[in-house]
Structure 1
């Protein structure tokens, strides 16, 4: 059974997906007003650099976007000052602005409308020629747009597909009107963010349960389910005081994604490291003594590692070049089984991933398209204590965890006083603005006692129930 957990806290939306009670995917989105993949903008060409075949586009954001010039995008004729329609395909990274394209598309559940051509194409997973002919013959497609028929279309009638085509085309016409009449560059269409993408891509005929802690998200999901005739979904509104992720034990699983070492059931482990150019994953046998021989030990470790590596790449949203150093294997059949296990882990992955064969050094190269940020980018920030050479958990993320812990304590105790211990790396930041800290942990109705400590842990939260506790800790009282 598949479970989808949708938790919204203020400006942060987090979505976790479990299959058979194992965390498989995790997404985080912050309402930062930054351009987000899938959004469509009116842009103005500010500069063109022929040497690198790149144009820089003003979309009304603080930084110009960049766009590659290529015949396949039909944008080789653009000139400085031109007004164009563009879609964001990559978020800004560091000092590099967002990447945009003129290959504008509007995704639906059964098809994707695109503006570069007027062809009808089909998902590679739709191979039934009779079905393709049935859809083509019954398709009511406007002449000025193209359509890519998605896999889900094979599970519904052509009438359902045509209803969605009409809906998407209305959106396109609305965007086209805005382009013509808007005077400045700016946002024209939001694609629904990660919630919209999850609903389109993850709801299917498999029995799925969706939990949401926000009424507006619940209603949006409910409305979507009502029109998704091929989806088998049970929806539940989470009304508990304890946060959704905390209640179902997801919080701790997400925090584990910050660890570079991941244990395998056989006793082996993998180490995930980031370099300037790529990610490297090292496979180690560790305490694995199950094999009757070195060959068997290596194979058992590698086969389990292959499954976990695919899982970790998807969970952490790793992208670019990923180099895996498996334990040496001589047998070609064993190598084939390990490679197939690795590929199996990406079958349901919507992000384009290419896995190359073993090299002579038992290395496997994975190339994965970047879509959205890494999970660690939402959770971590540079650590000032080590002059930027290391990272620490973001204070905003710590505040979210503390808030959830306070809600959990409130559920079981009628408390008025709360004691918090926080790692000293956050001391200056918190002391500079105590009231903001109190607001973020939603403790304005409590008396708050705060102490700082050195150690590997980040925080601790306890209720103060007795008068002697209040007396002993009164020097730490900061609010209330």
Structure 2
């Protein structure tokens, strides 16, 4: 059973996709962190970089946006008197101070500003409007050639001239009425945007992509979802209105308003699964486990047999663990929204047919992912390399922050190294003539290792320097924290 569970409060909106009670995808929108991908802004050129074939634009966000020349071509053709398929360099197209209307492709990340384009797209449930194109494209996930031809011919008959469309996966099996209704809606929305372009000023938002609930309805809610549960009455009626406009009336029977006392995420087991999705180790039903670690350059996934001792022989145990891992990894990537380069280290297999089967299972489960991904088969080192397009922020962004003790390394200094630091610092200050006492404030954890040998050593050492030594356990200090105080 596939379900969508939505929780709405004053601070955030969260949506969970459950497949057979397993949390598979998670979406979150917080009031203090507005999503900007898909928004259209009027920007002003802040800097042109010929060597990088790009420009920086001030669009009113904290960091300037980044525009490649190839993402400027449609704007050039439509608004800068350019010619089709122009190859003019960016310094011939833009000057500092020029105004350009852009759409955000990628959210700002770290020290990087947003990536923007002039290839505008306005998404609907079944179609995506490309206002400055004049062709029809079809989702590659629609495999049936007869259906692809039917959809293409149907849309070409009703689409306006000089406007293009992408037929989305959800359009499979839909009729002309669905398309007519959505074409009218999307074209009207684009005309509204065009009117705003002429009256807006740099930094203005000309078009804002749908907020989370409508995005989930547009991109996730389909005929294979048996139930959508939401705990907010106002949003419930907004969903009903949306379905009346874009979907079959039968879809309304799947919408349920949740009004129980227990939080909706507790009732459906979402919170407990979220906690597990933030851990590095993921246990498999067979007893094996994954170790998922993210670095600046890539995501690494290591598979281990763990508690799976097998029933037959080692090869069967390894194969069973790898097959289960191949099923679980795509779910974890979707749930954690991990992207970029991904390296999977399956347990070594001797037989090529086993490797092929594991790869096939991995590919089959990756097909469920709405986000584009690409697998490179087993390398000479026995690793699988794959990529996943970066869309939005990873789950960890919303629920984790850098540890103040380890600064993101996942490790802290050992007790032995900390004690060595303490001894070194005390030796340095022991030569100061104006002090009579050295006082060490120390955490309970560190004191357990310190007392006995080390405190006696320092006491004798300071006595030879004519100074006293005091050790004090500070309940406010944790881990291996300490503080050295000097008394006159």
Same fold (TM over 0.5): yes
Quick check: 1:211 aligned with 2:229?
Answer: yes
| Gap change, CA 1:141 and 1:41, over 3 Å in 2 | same
Q: How does 1:48-67 map to 2 (within 5 A)?
A: 48-67=48-67
Query: Tell me, what secondary structure is at the counterpart of 2:6?
Result: strand
The equivalent residue for 1:414 is none
CA-CA distance at 1:147 after TM superposition: 0.7
Q: Does 1:196 align with 2:187?
A: no
C-alpha distance in 2, partners of 1:130/1:63? 45
Q: CA deviation at 1:363?
A: 0.2
Gaps (5+ residues) in structure 1?
392-450, 456-480
Does structure 1 residue 143 correspond to structure 2 residue 192? no
**Equivalent residue for 1:476?**
none
CA contact (8 A) 2:330 2:369 kept: no
Taking only aligned residues, the RMSD between alpha carbons, in angstroms, comes to 2.4
> How many residues are matched?
396
Q: Does 2:190 align with 1:168?
A: no
234, 241, 264: which one aligns with 1:244: 264
Deviations 1:6-63 (A, max 9, x none): 1122231111111111111111222335452121212222212121222111112222
Structure 2 counterpart SS, 1:16: strand
Inter-CA distance 252–218: structure 2 relative to 1 (3 Å threshold): same
1:89 and 2:89 aligned: no
Q: Is the 8 A contact 1:36 1:193 kept in 2?
A: no
Contact 1:57 1:66 in 2 (8 A): yes
Superposed CA offset, 1:196-221 (max 9, x none) = 33212222222521111122321222
**What's the secondary structure of 2:179's corresponding residue?**
helix
Q: Return the match for 1:132 from 149, 155, 172.
A: 149
* 1:149 positional shift: 1.4
Name the SS of the counterpart of 1:175 in structure 2: helix
* TM-fit CA distance, 1:260: 0.2
Aligned equivalent of 1:38: 38
Secondary structure of the residue aligned to 1:381 is coil
Q: CA deviation at 1:315?
A: 0.6
Partners in 1 of 2:151 and 2:35 — Cα distance? 39
Structure 2 residue aligned with 1:311, among 319, 327, 331? 331
The answer to whether the 8 A contact 1:204-1:230 is kept is no
Which residue matches 1:220? 238
Q: Which has the larger radius of gyration?
A: 2
Contact 2:42 2:197 in 1 (8 A): yes
Distance, in Å, in 2 between the alignment partners of 1:145 and 1:375 is 36
SS in 1 for 2:377: coil
Asked whether the 8 Å contact 2:42–2:201 carries over to 1, the reply is: no
Query: Which residue of structure 1 aligns with residue 131 of structure 2?
Result: 115
In structure 2, distance between residues paired with 1:149 and 1:98: 27
Tell me, in whole angstroms, the C-alpha distance in 2 between the residues paired with 1:182 and 1:72: 20
Residue 170 of structure 2: aligned partner: 152
Distance 2:49 2:35 in 1: 23
Q: Deviations over 1:396-425 (max 9, x none)?
A: xxxxxxxxxxxxxxxxxxxxxxxxxxxxxx
Measured at CA, do residues 127 and 248 of structure 1 come closer, stay the same or move farther in structure 2, by a change above 3 Å?
A: closer
Unaligned runs of 5+ in 2: 77-89, 412-474, 480-488
Change in CA separation of 1:126 and 1:45 when aligned onto 2, cut-off 3 Å: farther
SS in structure 2 of the partner of residue 177 of structure 1: helix
Aligned residue in 2 for 1:5: 5
Give 1:334's match in structure 2, choosing from 329, 349, 354: 354
State which drifts further: 303-312 or 227-236: 227-236
Give the 3-state SS of the residue equivalent to 2:29 in structure 1.
strand
